[in-house]
């Protein structure tokens, strides 16, 4: 463990993000799970858990149903978690080597309810500049992804009917674009989960829709397993 994974660091982070004593107590309740996650050979794939913050993980653990159909942008521990808990899982991934590794792991575990698709981003034609903050630009801020379009990646969900999925997880590239494409495919009562919403531009284009068409189930900074940082995961339920 590095110094960041010590008790004083956890207390400092909890005080930073807690608005009151009750919130501090909730954050403190995750301390042992957070600390244990740094033990040797622990990661989200080994643990078959989504790599999102603890309150969001807890919410999913309590609210998933065996009949759910799930779509996720970006695969990993979440893929395995969903495979063992729901009826159908579809994952789109842009990293070829990781997609091959994930496919191998799922095959070894014997999950048969998974559909995976690898979609490589494409070079943008011409010299037009695209903004990752604009959902219509299908761009990513990730290093090395400049000048690439994630339009095929984001639109991969469009092959499914509207209101098809019970849960959509956005934890990959070009997240505003993926949210834009995902919204029509989420059932009434379904869950939209967006990770790392401490980056305001992910949800900024959708504030009117969120306010009028969704109920916020979880939306706060909290510890994340396997990393020292506190981040924000937003869970929204469609009304």
Instruction: Set out the domains of the chain in order of their start, with CATH numbers.
Output: 52-223+231-238 (3.40.50.150)
User: Does the pLDDT value for residue 4 go beyond 80?
Assistant: no
Which among 226, 224, 235 has a CA at the least distance from the CA of 53?
224
Rounded to 5, what percent of the chain is helix, strand, coil? 40, 25, 35
pLDDT score at 2 = 58
Express each pLDDT in 71-114 by its tens digit: 999 999 999 999 999 999 999 999 999 999 999 999 999 999 99
pTM comes to 0.96
* Residue predicted with more confidence, 128 or 237: 237
Q: Given this model, what pLDDT does residue 5 score? A: 63
Residue tagged 């159908």 (tokens): 88
Closest Cα to residue 52, out of 237, 232, 236, 238? Answer: 232
Q: What is the mean pLDDT of residues 113-140?
A: 92
User: Is-contact 53 72, C-beta < 8 A?
Assistant: no
Percent share of the chain, pLDDT over 90: 90
Tens digits of per-residue pLDDT, 138-174?
999 998 888 899 999 999 999 999 999 999 999 999 9
On the question of pLDDT at 230 being above 60, the answer is yes
List the one residue out of 198, 193, 163 whose CA is nearest residue 61. Answer: 193
Beta strands 165-170 and 69-73 are parallel
């Amino acid at each position: 463990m590095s110094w960041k994974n010590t008790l004083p660091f956890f207390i400092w982070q909890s005080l930073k993000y807690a608005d009151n004593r009750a919130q501090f107590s909730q954050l403190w309740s995750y301390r042992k799970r957070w600390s244990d996650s740094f033990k040797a050979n622990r990661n989200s794939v080994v643990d078959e858990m989504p790599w999102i913050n603890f309150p969001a993980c807890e919410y999913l653990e309590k609210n998933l149903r065996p009949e759910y159909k799930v779509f996720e942008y970006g695969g990993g521990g979440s893929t395995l978690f969903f495979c063992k808990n729901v009826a159908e899982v579809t994952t789109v991934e842009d990293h070829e080597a990781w997609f091959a590794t994930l496919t191998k792991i799922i095959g070894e575990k014997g999950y048969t309810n998974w559909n995976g698709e690898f979609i490589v981003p494409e070079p943008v034609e011409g010299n037009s500049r695209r903004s990752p903050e604009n959902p219509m630009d299908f761009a990513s801020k990730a290093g090395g992804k400049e000048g690439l379009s994630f339009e095929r990646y984001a639109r991969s969900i469009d092959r499914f009917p509207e209101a098809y999925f019970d849960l959509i997880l956005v934890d990959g590239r070009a997240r505003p674009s993926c949210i834009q494409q995902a919204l029509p495919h989420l059932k009434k009562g379904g869950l939209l989960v967006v990770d790392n919403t401490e980056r305001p531009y992910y949800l900024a284009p959708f504030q009117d829709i969120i306010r009028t068409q969704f109920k916020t189930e979880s939306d706060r900074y909290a510890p994340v397993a396997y990393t020292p940082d506190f981040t924000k995961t937003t869970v929204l339920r469609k009304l």
